[in-house]
Amino acid sequence: MSSPKKDLPLLPPAIKGELAQFDSTKLKQAETKEIQLLPSNEDVEKENIYNSLLQNVEGFQHSTLYHIQPQKRVHLPSAEVFSLNNLDLQRERRHYNLMTGVEKFNKSSLHHVKTTEKCVLPNSEDIEREKDQQKLLEEIKSFDTSNMKHSEMTVKNPLPTKDVMDQYKRSN
């Protein structure tokens, strides 16, 4: 068998020095807590109920059912409900009367009408005005600014001088 020192990996001397000087008394005490990862009794019971319901649904025998003819039942509103829903009933009657009137409408009483589409064309003045506007816009778009001369702007101050102000004060 090989010795335990031969099985250990080689460590750099800096780490070996730190391990040799390590003081385990400087470590903080920690309390260990056990955590139970098992489900509670309620959870197990709910899962059992759910599984039994699933098995009942999956194992249901359709042959135990028998066919029944549905019966039409007309439930008329009572006098109290009728008085409460009088507005709704009136609206429903009005809607019903309108719908039956539309369905029973006699189309032969209508007259045939020929529709004419009127297309108002612009007069010659409007056309000329629009052409002038388009021509002006084209000239503005195609204007060559390289032919313009550079100009210096001078700011002229129209404020009066001190002598003019003194003369004005003397006159008043």
pLDDT higher than threshold 70 for residue 82: no
Our measurement of the distance from residue 107's CA atom to the centroid of its chain's CA atoms, rounded to an integer in Å, reads: 48
pLDDT, one tens digit per residue, over 59-71 is 888 888 888 888 8
What burial letters (b/e) apply to 26-46, b meaning 16+ CB within 10 Å? eeeeeeeeeeeeeeeeeeeee
The CA distance from 134 to 45, in Å, is 86
Q: Which tops the pLDDT comparison, 89 or 4?
A: 89
User: 18-45: per-residue pLDDT in tens?
Assistant: 888 888 888 888 888 888 788 889 999 9
**Over 80: is that where the pLDDT of 3 sits?**
no
Distance CA 82, CA 90 (A): 11
pLDDT band at 5 (very low <50, low <70, confident <90, very high): low
Q: What token pair was written down for 91? A: 């609206």
Note the pLDDT of residue 99.
92
- Percentage of the chain lying above the pLDDT 90 cut: 24
Identify the pLDDT of residue 32.
Answer: 85
Give the torsion sign (CA, 49, 51, 54, 56).
negative
Q: Which two tokens stand for residue 52?
A: 């039994």
Dihedral sign (CA 23, 25, 31, 36): positive
pLDDT single digits (tens) 105-156: 888 888 889 888 888 888 999 999 999 999 999 999 998 888 888 888 887 7
pLDDT at 54 over 70: yes
Q: What pTM, to 2 d.p., does this model score?
A: 0.23
Residues 89, 82 contacting (CB under 8 angstroms) = yes
Q: Report the pLDDT value the prediction gives residue 119, as an integer from 0 to 100.
A: 82
